[in-house]
Amino acid sequence: MTTVLENGEAQDPTYPMARQCPFDPPAELAELQAEEPVRRVALWDGSRPWLVTRHADVRAVLADQRFSADTDSPGYPPSSPGLLARRRDSPSFIAMDDPDHAFFRRMLISEFSVKAVKRLRPMIDETVEELLDAMAAGPQPADLVEAFALPLPSLVICRMLGVPYADHPFFQSRSHTIVDTTSSPEASRTASEELRRYLEGLVAQREEQARAGEEAGTGWEPVDLLGRLAARHVLTGEITREQAGSMGLLLLVAGHETTANMIALGTLVLLRDPEQAARVRSGDAVDGAVEELLRLLTVTHIGRRRAATEDVEVGGVLIRAGEGVIAAGEIANRDPEAFPAPDTLDVERSPNHHVAFGHGVHQCLGQQLARVELQAAYPALLRRFPDLRVDAAVEDIPFRDTMAVYGVHELPVRW
């Protein structure tokens, strides 16, 4: 899908492209996947990284540590001016390569293991029921985002971290700025700094509690993740308070933004397919529905960014050291070579090796938590409100086109 200018030169397509349908990736991505699966594209800053669109090639790139996730690597393709400024001022371990990335990740792996998340299921189920009770008692139409989709993962991650949920207006507004690709560098940097300082303050409180327990000879057992970071890693000098705050920032933002949008957008898709919704409502195909909605929607829809540190061949194309790469998971998850009838919602699809959580060493740390939250949310919502319906035309629903995490800003519903 190369455009030819009047002077005969080829013009690279601009990435990301605009969607024609709010439920599907841009049509241009499917064309590239079929015709030029490894192709240069133009970004906001004038750079021309390689866009990789086939499922096998995306997995290969994300599994190959010759592709760096470090935003300071030569050729790294930033998604927006705000993200570039924020990550350079306050780097997150997900924007690091091993061994630094592994050093920080190891501190958190046990917190998000299958076993640890399984222990949270009763709390998650209880939170779901409390929110649905409040929604049922409230007025109609209700905004599903405000009433259910956003507070559920926010409450869960707050309880895990030890963040007071009463402060959610503060951290959600900063989170919104951070993931908005139209935010200025100044706004993004300020939001990130304010949120990190807030979390550093909570870490400092846990440090004081740990010191007081030690001095009193009674000890102190941390009951939340920030407390464990403080007691086991900050007080020992293994990491700084600022680093612990940055880790908390990543978990707080990612822990509610992605799942909240999957709940709302996934519900919207299910309500458009009553047969599949009935399967979820009955509990017959919940796990399969969650995996399929993750694949179909891929809410992290602006690609996973890397920079080549060596010459590497991908899909028959030589990518040179110092060149940027975007692994477009949103279209890789619609690759017909990996997923028969890829645009169809099939809750019984098997196998379903989607890359909605990424792949390789940087695969999403919180994926098991997200799965459990979605497995709890969809069937409970559909059972509580069997006549749930959207109270707006699709064209009137505000979709999150400019956000790093796709979804809907609001979703009015009745029952």
Q: What is the pLDDT of residues 167-187, one digit of tens each?
A: 999 999 999 999 999 999 999
Q: Nearest-CA neighbor of 279 among 290, 268, 294?
A: 290
> Could you read off the pLDDT of 91-126 as tens digits, one per residue?
789 999 999 999 999 999 999 999 999 999 999 999
Confidence of residue 202 (pLDDT cuts 50, 70, 90): very high
Measured distance CA(53)–CA(296) in Å, rounded: 15
The pLDDT of 346-366, averaged and rounded, is 97
Measured distance CA(112)–CA(96) in Å, rounded: 20
Q: Nearest-CA neighbor of 161 among 173, 151, 153?
A: 153
Confidence of residue 1 (pLDDT cuts 50, 70, 90): low
Buried b (16+ CB within 10 A) or exposed e, 34-58: eebbbbbbebeeeeebbbbbbbebb
- 262, containing H or E segment: helix 241-271
> Could you read off the pLDDT of 302-340 as tens digits, one per residue?
999 999 999 999 999 999 999 999 999 999 999 999 999
Buried b (16+ CB within 10 A) or exposed e, 139-168: eeebbbbebbbbbbbbbbbbbbbbbeeeeb
Q: How far is CA 316 from the centre of its chain?
A: 30
Give the count of beta carbons closer than 10 Å to the beta carbon of residue 127.
21
pLDDT of 215 reads 81
- 258, containing H or E segment: helix 241-271
pTM score: 0.95
pLDDT of 54 reads 98
pLDDT value at 6 more than 80: no
Q: Are the C-beta atoms of 402 and 396 separated by less than 8 Å?
A: no
Measured distance CA(240)–CA(163) in Å, rounded: 19
Q: Are the C-beta atoms of 399 and 408 separated by less than 8 Å?
A: yes
> Could you read off the pLDDT of 246-302 as tens digits, one per residue?
999 999 999 889 999 999 999 999 999 999 999 999 999 999 999 999 999 999 999
pLDDT of 86 reads 79
> Could you read off the pLDDT of 45-78 as tens digits, one per residue?
999 999 999 999 999 999 999 999 999 999 999 9
The pLDDT of 21-39, averaged and rounded, is 98
Residue type, 272: R
Measured distance CA(173)–CA(153) in Å, rounded: 15
- DSSP states of 170-219: HHHHHHHHHHBTTS-HHHHHHHHHHHHHHHHHHHHHHHHHHHHHHHHTS-
- DSSP states of 2-31: -EE-TTS-EEPPBSSPPPSSTTS--HHHHH
Q: Are the C-beta atoms of 113 and 368 separated by less than 8 Å?
A: yes
> Could you read off the pLDDT of 125-167 as tens digits, one per residue?
999 999 999 999 999 999 999 999 999 999 999 999 999 999 9
Q: Nearest-CA neighbor of 367 among 99, 95, 108?
A: 108
Q: Give the tokens for residue 21.
A: 């349908």
Measured distance CA(364)–CA(185) in Å, rounded: 25
Q: Nearest-CA neighbor of 344 among 397, 264, 273?
A: 273
pLDDT value at 188 more than 90: yes
H-assigned helices in 15-167? 27-35, 55-63, 81-89, 100-105, 114-137, 144, 151-161
H-assigned helices in 329-366? 329-332
Which domains, ranges and CATH numbers included, belong to the chain?
Answer: 3-414 (1.10.630.10)
Q: Are the C-beta atoms of 382 and 63 separated by less than 8 Å?
A: no
Q: Are the C-beta atoms of 315 and 52 separated by less than 8 Å?
A: yes
Q: Under DSSP, is residue 386 helix (H, G, I), strand (E, B) or coil?
A: coil
pLDDT of 9 reads 54
